A and B are shown apart, each in its own frame.
Chain A
Amino acid sequence: MRGVDIMGIVSVANLKKTYGDFTAVDDISFDIQEGEIFGFLGPNGAGKTSTINMIIGLSRPTAGEITVDGIDVRTQTKKAQALMGIVPDESNLYNEMDGFDNLCFCGALYGMRKEEREAKARHLLEQFRLKDAGKRPFKAYSKGMRRKLTIAAALIHSPRILFLDEPTTGIDVESARQIREMIAGLKNQGTTVFLTTHYIEDAERICDRIAFIAKGRIVASGTVPELMESVSHGHAIQLVTDENAESLAAELQGRFEGSRVEVRPDHSVVIISKQRIPLLPVMEYYNDKGIAVYEARELRPTLEDVFVKLTGIESSMLKKEKEKGGAGR
């Protein structure tokens, strides 16, 4: 199965989805390698859910190819679905059933035998620290608990690929932390994970590779260092000095060829340059002027800066909570 290895366990080519005149997903292509955690990072309405829904077979692509473990999802949907665990953006288990029954029912949908699914359900409840809640109906769960049980339900049949649509959106900090830990644990067991999020920190902390998605297109993708690299940023040093150093900014800029000196609102001085900046000459310059330097450090761009630069979208757009009651899924 060499071809499959090269293609990746999930392979998406020129995927497109239109709703009437509106193009929600616009010619997206990407591969997910077996065992990696791949994430879509993008703001509301970027097309994350639309893409996931096409891959899992809940929605029909307008155009494009999708294969999962070499299986064409469009023609052999059910065969491909047997390999998938799916966590939708809404926690959608059965309100009137308790946690244990919900998990067992989901196991049964994948053809698991009674003893097998019950043992796994007990194990998952314990792993997700929901053991005490196992006998309570789903409708009595808190948001974080609902999220965790929904993830557990997707894992009951030990899928090879787990799809998580916004696993940590709108839940408490502690549950979100447990979910991140759980995802890391899955990777160790060899499960492939595809997740979407609009939290930069989550993408950075959880994912091996990230794709920035905006207005239905993948703007950039790669590992965090690769993404950082892709934006040609200069080097920057931030210096915390005596206050009277501010007036010397222009002079300092003249001293160092090709550099730009900015004074930050906190009165620190930032030297920006194409090349790396050696510290000693700067220190000597200040020393000669009789100015004390208390702190000097290199400023590195954050993933947030890279995202803003590549997508042209303000990072505040990502932080905006999901608008409820918008257009369907």
Chain B
Amino acid sequence: MKSWIAFWNILKKDVKNYYLKPPNISWGIIFPLSWTLMQLIRTPGGNILQLLPGLISMSVLFGTTSMLAVTITFERSGRSFDRLLLAPISLSTMVLAKIMGAILFGVFNAFVPVIFAAFFVNLGAVRWAVVLPAVLMIAVTSTLLGLLIAVSAKQVFEAQTFSNFFRFPMLFLCGLFVPLPSVPVFLRPLSYCLPLTYGTDLLNGAITATSSLSPVLCFSMLLAFAAALFMLCRYNINRKWIL
């Protein structure tokens, strides 16, 4: 019960102080929108449905990683983060509370391009039962990736540099722009090491029926990534932040 009160209030504070702040909200809407428009302009008459998985993935990836890197690194540099480390709640509870805000923010971002697309195309054929958990898992894994970066970075600036270093190569290797079978053979093992690859494949399957892996495999891989990243983050926080 006590842990739950702490969990809920950490989440509530983050949502109120960071995620619901006008600049972040508008960033969450404008960013996916401009990606969508850019893609439309680049390929006029292109099939919006085909673009949708990529847009969703990118929105989630950028939304979660950038927000988390900022909120955690920001509180670290102001030392208020020490309060969370000193609170009588387990490290897991604290980490879960901290990432939950970013996960929700990522899921919210994912649906901006979806709503936008709904004006242009019929989304009747989309398998939402797959899209929803896939979006959630992409949000979870990329948030944890963001946390891993935040744990390694000392300043907000450093966190952002790090995350760009990860994000852009990831976008090109995960099968979004270049379909997985066309990724150069020597880079393909790297693709299979990225959680986003599996998330994208799930979305491709659910939205345009063009998946190349089995959904069961994809979900299992995403869950495995989430668990491994969570443990890694916890271990790192314990090792690096409690000096």
Contact = CB atoms under 8 A, between A and B. Distances in A.
Contacts of B86: 56-58, 81, 84, 86
B17 A94 contact: yes
Interface in B41-89: 78-80, 82-89
A281 B190 CA distance: 97
Contact of A108 (B6, B17, B82, B242): B6
A94 B88 contact: no
Contacts of A57: 86, 242
Contacts of B80: 92-94
B92 to A, nearest CB: 11
Given A106-B83, A111-B3, A111-B6, A92 B88 contact: no
B88 A111 contact: yes
* Residue of B5, B17, B83, B86 with most partner-chain A CB within 10 A: B86
Interface string B76-112: 0011101111111110000000000000000000000
A131 B17 CA distance: 22
Using C-beta atoms within 8 Å of the partner chain, give the interface range for chain A.
20 to 34
Nearest to B21: A96
Contacts of B13: 94, 97, 105
A78 B79 contact: no
A113 B82 contact: no
Given A94-B13, A96-B17, A108 B79 contact: no
A308 B5 CA distance: 50
Interface string A46-81: 000000010011111000000000000000001101
Interface residues of B, number: 24
B9 A58 contact: no
A88 interface: yes
A105 B89 contact: no
A53 B82 CA distance: 11
A109 B79 contact: no
Interface in A88-127: 88, 90, 92-97, 105-106, 108-113
A307 to B, nearest CB: 29
B243 interface: yes
Given A78-B90, A97-B13, A58 B83 contact: no
B2 A60 contact: no
A329 B243 CA distance: 10
Interface in B174-190: none
A17 to B, nearest CB: 9
A82 interface: yes
Nearest to B75: A94
Contacts of B3: 111
Q: Is the interface of A mostly helix, strand, loop or mixed?
A: loop
Contact of A88 (B5, B6, B82, B242): B82
A58 B17 contact: no
Nearest to B4: A111
Contact of B88 (A60, A82, A113): A82
Nearest to A109: B87
A60 B10 CA distance: 25
Nearest to A113: B5
Contacts of B90: 78
A110 B85 CA distance: 12
Nearest to B13: A105
Contacts of A53: 243
A94 B5 CA distance: 19
Interface string B1-33: 111011011100100010000000000000000
B87 A81 contact: yes
B6 A92 contact: no
Q: Which of B1, B2, B6, B83 has the most chain A CB atoms closer than 10 A to its own CB? A: B83
Contact of A58 (B6, B85, B89): B85
A307 B82 CA distance: 33
A85 B6 CA distance: 16
Contacts of A88: 79, 82
Contacts of B79: 88, 90, 92
Contacts of A58: 82, 85-86, 242-243
Which 3 pairs from chain A and chain B are nearest by CB? A111-B2, A108-B9, A82-B88
10 contacts: A81-B86, A81-B88, A84-B86, A94-B17, A94-B80, A105-B13, A109-B6, A109-B88, A109-B89, A112-B5
Interface of B: 1-3, 5-6, 8-10, 13, 17, 78-80, 82-90, 242-243
Interface of A: 53, 56-60, 78-79, 81-82, 84, 86, 88, 90, 92-97, 105-106, 108-113, 328-329
Given A78-B90, A95-B78, 8 more contacts: A58-B85, A58-B86, A81-B87, A81-B88, A84-B86, A94-B17, A106-B83, A110-B87
